[in-house]
Amino acid sequence: MKRIDGQLTNMAGEFFAMGKLFKRGYQASITFGNAKAIDILVYNPANNKNYNVQVKALRKKNYFPMKKEDVYEDFIYIFVILNDFEEKEEFFILTGKEIISDINKYFGSSYRKEKPSPFPGIYHNSLKGYKDNWKLFDN
């Protein structure tokens, strides 16, 4: 089976997240790599606040490759599982502050050993409590 380009997966995740944000009445703009750490800039006109968003996407349930050093406390992270074409996408939304507060919970065994994993990541099972947590954009 041919491997699907990871860039296509990430772009799909960003566009699905953007669609959900627009549907909820937020203004959003994809940075298209112009701001390396920020994938989407979001503005909520109801509370006059801006949000920096990082999107991570997978085709199937697994772990989201990323390093703890790349987590920013004041960002919102949207983790997207695209699933098969006929299935709905799944969205898990939480702040960088929440991730940083419990590295072991989110990164599993990635950082528990003396020598960290060469491929650390956040495990989808640790995100279950944040499914469709869009209310973060109202705070």
Mean pLDDT of 30-38: 77
82-128: pLDDT as tens digits: 999 899 999 999 999 999 999 999 998 888 888 888 899 999 999 99
Tell me what pLDDT residue 113 has.
81
Residues in the chain: 139
Tell me the β-bridge partners of 95: 76
| Per-domain boundaries in the chain | 6-138
Tokens of residue 107, six digits: 């990164």
Query: Cα–Cα distances in Å, from 3 out to 59, 90, 123?
Result: 11, 21, 21
Architecture of domain 6-138: 3-Layer(aba) Sandwich (3.40)
Residue 139 has pLDDT above 90, yes or no: no
Residue 28 has pLDDT above 70, yes or no: yes
Look up tokens 């979001």; give the residue.
42
